């Protein structure tokens, strides 16, 4: 399949965006009024920020939207020269086709350097008569306060499982892919509210065959099955360190997981354990310490086995 599904099925209208009802309603009111302030879209990846900006431009300008809309990825071009060059050059020219203003969309704006953000602040102020800025970022705290105060802030939340499920079923039906309920739930679990990741996971799984099963999903996405992770943790808590270590070996070989991947899945598995909340607090506290050690460069295999050893000792107590 040549075309990436996330682009092929990207919503073209604001009303087609799922899981962000409040945001869609607010943006639609701007379209109806024919005016809008500077905007900032903040939230996790794959929740519809870029799609919302593109859909907003299409509805605001109709067929001439490409003439009055420019998209720049700040993670590629993040220095002050971009603000002084490309952005200022586009902002100072008049809108085309009778439009009241142009839109400059800065994707991943939290990657802009502090100097570039300081220059952008002045540009936003100077050209606000004929230009509007839409900034997209994963972490709004990395955007300086003077820019945030100039923008209406929209906070996108991770998509609910039902919204992701509805979209995946629509894509699978139109692509002629058979997917069972277990596989669908597995993709939703792996996606963690990220629609782009979920659709890409479906695409990768579908390349193996036209019938997508739960085994295919976890192998295609490089994730261990949650029940296998829970089984390993419960084995360790039962005091069987050697048995838990064998299950760890099997997962790492079968799925090719890194230490950070496994530690994240172990963390999620704690909420499925039937142990007192006080014990879960102890386990999560130790897991956070082990994760920090791995990120800082410690040997991931030794750290994972140290975590299993701690679980075994806790289980015996």
Quick one: 9 and 144 in the same domain? yes
Residues 237 and 308 in one domain: yes
H/E stretch holding 267: helix 259-269
Strand order in the sheet with 38-42: 69-73, 102-107, 131-137, 38-42, 151-155
Question: Same structural domain for residues 90 and 211?
Answer: no
186: number of Cβ within 10 Å: 25
Q: What is the pLDDT of residue 269?
A: 87
Choosing from 155, 170, 186, the residue where a domain stops is: 155
Q: Of 162, 79, 87, 138, which is closest to residue 113 (Cα–Cα)?
A: 79
CATH number at residue 126: 3.40.50.300
Angle between helices 300-316 and 226-237 (to 10 degrees): 60
Whole-number Å distance between alpha carbons of 69 and 45: 22
Residue 190: CATH number of its domain: 1.10.8.60
User: pLDDT in tens for each of the 317 residues of the chain?
Assistant: 344 556 677 777 888 888 888 898 999 998 888 888 999 999 888 888 888 998 998 888 888 888 888 888 766 666 666 666 677 777 777 777 777 888 889 888 888 888 888 888 888 888 888 888 899 999 888 999 999 998 899 999 988 888 889 888 888 888 888 888 888 888 998 888 888 888 888 888 888 766 888 888 887 777 788 888 889 999 998 889 999 999 898 888 877 788 888 898 899 888 888 888 888 888 899 999 999 999 998 898 899 999 999 998 887 76
> How many whole angstroms separate alpha carbon 2 and alpha carbon 286?
45
Q: What are phi and psi of 135, to 5 degrees?
A: -105, 135
Buried/exposed 232-252: b ≥16 CB within 10 Å, e otherwise: bbbbbbeebbebbbebbeebb
Q: Last residue of some domain: 221, 249, 266?
A: 221
Residue 20: C-alpha distances to residues 65, 126, 230 (Å): 23, 32, 33
Q: Which residue has the tokens 């945030």?
A: 148
Cβ atoms 242, 204 nearer than 8 A: no
136: phi then psi, degrees, rounded to nearest 5: -120, 135
Give me the CATH number covering residue 231: 1.20.272.10
**Domain range holding 182?**
161-221
Q: Do residues 146 and 265 both lie within one domain?
A: no
35 and 125 assigned to the same domain: yes
* 60/200 same-domain check: no
Alpha helices (H) along 150-240: 161-175, 181-191, 195-208, 214-221, 226-237
> Is the same domain home to 11 and 137?
yes
Say yes or no: 246 and 214 in one domain: no
Same domain for 262 and 216, yes or no, is no
Same domain, 100 and 50: yes
Q: In the listed set 155, 188, 207, which residue is the last one of a domain according to the structure? A: 155
The number of domains in the chain is 3
Residue 81, pLDDT score: 63
DSSP string for residues in 276-294:
-HHHHHHHHHHHHHHHHHH
Neighbours of 201 (CB within 10 A): 25
Looking at the structure, do residues 276 and 304 belong to the same domain, yes or no?
yes
* Burial class for 192, CB neighbours closer than 10 Å (0-12, 13-18, 19+): middle
Number of H helices, E strands in the chain: 16, 7
Residues 24 and 149 in one domain: yes
């Amino acid at each position: 399949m040549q075309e990436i599904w996330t682009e092929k099925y990207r919503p073209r209208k604001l009303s087609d965006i799922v899981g962000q009802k409040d945001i869609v309603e607010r943006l639609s009111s701007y379209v109806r009024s024919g005016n809008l302030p500077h905007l900032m879209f903040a939230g996790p990846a794959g929740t519809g920020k870029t799609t919302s900006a593109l859909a907003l431009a299409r509805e605001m300008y109709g067929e001439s939207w490409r003439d009055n809309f420019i998209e720049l990825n700040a993670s590629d071009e993040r220095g002050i020269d971009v603000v002084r060059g490309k952005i200022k050059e586009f902002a100072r020219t008049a809108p085309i086709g009778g439009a009241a203003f142009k839109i400059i969309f800065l994707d991943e704006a939290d990657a802009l350097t502090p100097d570039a953000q300081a220059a952008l602040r002045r540009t936003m102020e100077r050209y606000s008569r004929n230009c509007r800025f839409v900034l997209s970022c994963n972490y709004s705290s990395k955007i300086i306060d003077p820019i945030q105060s100039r923008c209406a802030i929209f906070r996108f939340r991770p998509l609910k499982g039902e919204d992701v499920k509805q979209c995946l079923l629509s894509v699978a039906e139109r692509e002629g892919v058979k997917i069972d309920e277990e596989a669908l739930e597995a993709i939703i679990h792996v996606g963690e509210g990220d629609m782009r990741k979920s659709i890409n996971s479906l695409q990768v799984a579908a390349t193996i065959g036209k019938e997508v099963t739960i085994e295919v999903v976890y192998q295609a996405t490089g994730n261990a099955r949650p029940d296998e992770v829970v089984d390993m943790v419960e084995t360790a808590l039962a005091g069987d360190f050697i048995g838990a270590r064998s299950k760890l070996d099997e997962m790492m070989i079968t799925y090719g997981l890194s230490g950070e991947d496994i530690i994240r899945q172990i963390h999620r598995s704690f909420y499925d354990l039937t142990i007192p909340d006080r014990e879960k607090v102890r386990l999560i506290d130790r897991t956070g310490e082990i994760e920090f050690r791995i990120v800082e460069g410690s040997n991931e295999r030794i750290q994972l086995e140290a975590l299993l050893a701690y679980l075994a000792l806790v289980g015996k107590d």
